[in-house]
Copies of this chain bind each other. A is one copy, B any other.
Amino acid sequence: MKRIDQVKGTFDQDREKARSIPSDATVKRLPRYYRYLSRLLAEGTLRISSSALSAKMGVTASQIRQDLACFGDFGQQGYGYNVRYLHSKISRILGLSDGHRAVFIGAGSIARTLLESPVFCRGDIRCVGIFDRQADPERGVLPLDTLPESLAALRATLAVMTLPPRDAEAVMPHLAAAGIRGVLNYSGGQLTEREHMIVQNVYPDDPCLMLAYRVGAMGEKEE
């Protein structure tokens, strides 16, 4: 028969430390941490304290520590954070170690731009297929009609949707059927949500509009 302290020991090992679930605000900051950590890594910085990082990023050290603490104890008292270790941890947290495979639906300029962006260039996420109404064998763009039959074999987990709203909506059932777990929606329209599938809407216009607003608001304040 097991002794009490043995049982307790086993229990403590199995149970993860109770952490506060990351708020949406925290999640939105994760890509930002990832970017800064990547930069520090590239610069060869070996360690960094929350206050040093805070100065670089323009956020409070408190916030950094609290954000990170949602996911684990990545730092060390009196030392700070090991850059390489923290970077790898955040990479995992973001799911970049899950080997995501993305299929591009639409081969226009948005698709091309995203393919040139760090996530895809670095291979954090891999593009495994590009489909478009207008096929283009030279550039590896497959005809959209063949999507239903060829999608399953690609074993994609994500889709990047850059077709116009109507076409986008029509393709969704095929994505769902092929087990796509997340759709990055640049269509500009609303895609009907499905269980087990996350739709992340993107509006590339928004930053531009916000800038126009802020420029106008600045002018008012000064005059």
A residues with CB within 8 A of B: 27-28, 30-32, 34-35, 93-96, 98, 100, 108-110, 112-114, 116-119, 124-125, 157-158, 160, 181-184, 188, 196, 198, 200, 202-216, 218-219, 222
Contact = CB atoms under 8 A, between A and B. Distances in A.
Given A35-B203, A109-B112, A219-B181, A27 B117 contact: no
Contacts of A95: 212-213, 215-216
Contacts of A124: 209, 212
A181 B218 contact: yes
Nearest to A100: B212
A148 B191 CA distance: 45
A204 B205 CA distance: 11
8 contacts: A30-B213, A31-B210, A113-B204, A124-B212, A181-B215, A184-B208, A200-B210, A200-B214
Copies of chain A in the complex = 2
A184 B214 CA distance: 12
Contacts of A94: 209, 212-213, 216
Contacts of A30: 209-210, 213
A206 B188 CA distance: 17
B184 A27 contact: no
A139 to B, nearest CB: 13
A93 B213 contact: yes
B113 A203 contact: no
Contacts of A183: 211
A154 to B, nearest CB: 16
A31 B113 contact: no
A150 to B, nearest CB: 22
Nearest to A157: B215
Given A125-B212, A212-B94, A218 B204 contact: no
Contacts of A35: 203
Contact of A198 (B112, B208, B214): B214
A219 B209 CA distance: 35
Contacts of A213: 27, 30, 93-95
